[in-house]
Structure 1
Amino acid sequence: MLTCHPGWADLPAVRAGQVWVLDGPAYFNRPGPRVVRGVEVLTQVLHGVRAGAPVECGEARRV
């Protein structure tokens, strides 16, 4: 598990609670309509701007 790696807790993003887990195969790894949803999810996670439907827990969650 990623959180078990040495130095994980020392990362600035981890200390600030800004680490997100996204489903890459569902949104980014294949071309198609789901890529648009992936951009909407990234918009909310990275910029706090809602684009499209609200992001669900299964789409992106804080670690």
Structure 2
Amino acid sequence: MQVEPLNDTERMLALAENMLDRYGIISRQAVIAENIPGGFPSMQTLCRSMEDSGRIMRGRFVEGLGGGAIR
């Protein structure tokens, strides 16, 4: 059985869902610490799309952390 490689969008979505499962939030600091390809700008673009589709909410959920994303 051959597995199809993920495209960039699918890979970024998998990374975002993994971060949400582990931390419950996506923050600039977490993206930097995780060495996410494309850095925070690429994750922020994905988070906007996820928010537009109702999958997550962006906001300031953790005091002192700035804007973040949470399920």
| Same fold at TM > 0.5 | no
Report which structure shows greater RCO (CA 8 Å, sep ≥6).
1
TM norm structure 1: 0.27
Structure with greater helix percent: 2
Structure with greater strand percent: 2
